[in-house]
Chains A and B, each alone.
Chain A
Amino acid sequence: MAGEATQQLTSKELWGGKISPFGISYGKMMMWFFLISDALTFTGFLGSLAFMRVHFADVWPITENIFYHFPFFHHTELPLLYVAFMTFILIISSVTMVLAVEAGHRMDKAGVTKWLFLTVVGGAIFLGSQAWEWSTFIQGSEHGAYDLGDGTMGRILNVEGAFEYEGETYEGTVIQLRDRSIASAELTAELKSTGQIVKGANLHENEYGLPLYADFFFFITGFHGTHVLSGVLINFLILLRVRKGEFEKTGHYEMVEKVGLYWHFIDLVWVFVFTFFYLV
């Protein structure tokens, strides 16, 4: 498909001048070069996350204990399910984008319009979801957590009546440690009298663990979210140009292909952020 007319060229013809030896246009090649530089930027961010995560491996918060909220499902713990939904949305929007490019290769203006519009919608749903994730993360759990002084935080859970755990009884509140076990009655009593409660997460404090974790969350997902926002805006502008009939006149939909490359790059980065921030 890539420059079928030039596929059978000899090496001498290919590198002899007057044509692109790569068989692609200047615009597409520049988009690829930009994507490599952007990929290295995100690699740098994820690399520094890897460094900090390994360095603080003992106290690094466990994501299943943090990201368990789901819209409209209050008081239910569904670990990582909403993030999985967001990943699916972005993959599906990538699929609609590649279908738009395919329609462009058949000069099918109606098809391009339809699929590009669905891509914009998918991107907008992802942005809204990410905003919801941020607000849930910033707000924190129901009751907050105690600062245990060793780098980890003890999450405060409310229990109704008496609660039995490993031979000890607790009334009212129990404190859940990093490994999901319950703090001893002695520690619980000590924290209830003198402990510092942290609620929510921001750039100064983090109820889920070390503040560095919150910093990385905001920075990496924020950078990615900004890319998604710019991608949605650019896709929308190209959609307007498609509808105006500009690409029917020039005879090709390469512009759709170029913004498609950017959109797939965004999906690719999210796949890696999902793995290295949420799963691993």
Chain B
Amino acid sequence: MKRDDIIEYSLYNHHSEEEGVKKRKEIYKVTIILAVITTVEVAMGMILGKALFLDNQSAWDMIKIAYIGLTVVKAAYIVMVFMHLGEERKSIRWVILAPYFFFLLYLMFFLLVEAGADVAI
């Protein structure tokens, strides 16, 4: 017995050949952006290696923040464009992203605080 109460949402997601050309162009654009960001990260890793900054902690902290910032930018592009979350409704975007970020930020906060604490583990 076939169910008649399930709506096949994916049937509404088709697009024509012309729209396809536009979408492919956007995909290639984001690919270039990701490739450039990765190249910058790798170049930084090879030239500004950690061994050079063992005495200069504040410079190394700046470099670390740069790495993490670039990675978050890459992650945002992958989630919003490649996983099409940018094209979904606002409600499902919030349902997916908000709990995750809440957990992530709290987890990182107390892990990093406890890691620096002067207690033997």
Answer yes or no: do A and B interact.
yes
Residues of A at under 8 Å CB distance from B? 1-6, 18-26, 28-29, 32, 36, 39-40, 43-44, 47-48, 50-55, 62-65, 79-81, 84, 87-88, 91-92, 94-95, 97-99, 101-103, 105-107, 179-180, 251-254, 257, 260-261, 264-265, 267-268, 271-272, 274-275, 278-280
**Secondary structure of the B contact surface, majority rule:** helix
* Chain B residue at minimum C-beta to C-beta distance from A33: B96
A51, B78: Cβ atoms under 8 Å? no
* Chain B residue at minimum C-beta to C-beta distance from A108: B20
* Chain A residue at minimum C-beta to C-beta distance from B74: A271
Contacts of A91 in B (CB 8 A): 31, 34-35, 38
Contact among A43, A79, A102 for B23, CB-based, below 8 A: A102
Chain B 81-105: CB-based contact to A (< 8 A → 1; otherwise 0): 1111001110110011001100110
Contacts of B46 in A (CB 8 A): 64, 79-81
B88, A43: Cβ atoms under 8 Å? no
B115, A54: Cβ atoms under 8 Å? yes
Contact among A21, A40, A251, A275 for B91, CB-based, below 8 A: A21
B103, A88: Cβ atoms under 8 Å? no
Q: How far is the CA of A51 from the CA of B111 in the complex (A)?
A: 6
Tell me whether B27 is interfacial, beta carbon within 8 Å: yes
* Chain B residue at minimum C-beta to C-beta distance from A26: B6
Contact among A25, A39, A107 for B8, CB-based, below 8 A: A25
Q: How far is the CA of A252 from the CA of B15 in the complex (A)?
A: 11
B13, A3: Cβ atoms under 8 Å? yes
Q: Closest approach, in angstroms, between the C-beta of B68 and any C-beta of chain A? A: 7
- Knowing that A2-B88, A54-B115 are A-B contacts, what are 15 other residue pairs whose CB atoms are under 8 Å apart, sorted by A's residue number? A22-B91, A36-B96, A36-B100, A50-B108, A50-B111, A51-B112, A80-B42, A87-B38, A91-B34, A99-B27, A252-B13, A264-B82, A264-B83, A272-B75, A280-B68
What would be 10 A-B contacts, judged by CB atoms less than 8 Å apart?
A22-B92, A40-B103, A91-B38, A94-B78, A99-B27, A106-B14, A254-B13, A268-B78, A275-B68, A275-B71
Contact among B9, B20, B54, B112 for A106, CB-based, below 8 A: B20
Q: How far is the CA of A101 from the CA of B88 in the complex (A)?
A: 15
A105, B103: Cβ atoms under 8 Å? no
Contacts of B42 in A (CB 8 A): 80-81, 84, 87
B99, A65: Cβ atoms under 8 Å? no
Contacts of B96 in A (CB 8 A): 32, 36
B78, A264: Cβ atoms under 8 Å? yes
Contact among A18, A94, A179 for B51, CB-based, below 8 A: A179
B27, A98: Cβ atoms under 8 Å? yes
* Chain A residue at minimum C-beta to C-beta distance from B93: A22
A252, B67: Cβ atoms under 8 Å? no
B10, A254: Cβ atoms under 8 Å? yes
Contacts of A279 in B (CB 8 A): 41, 44-45, 67
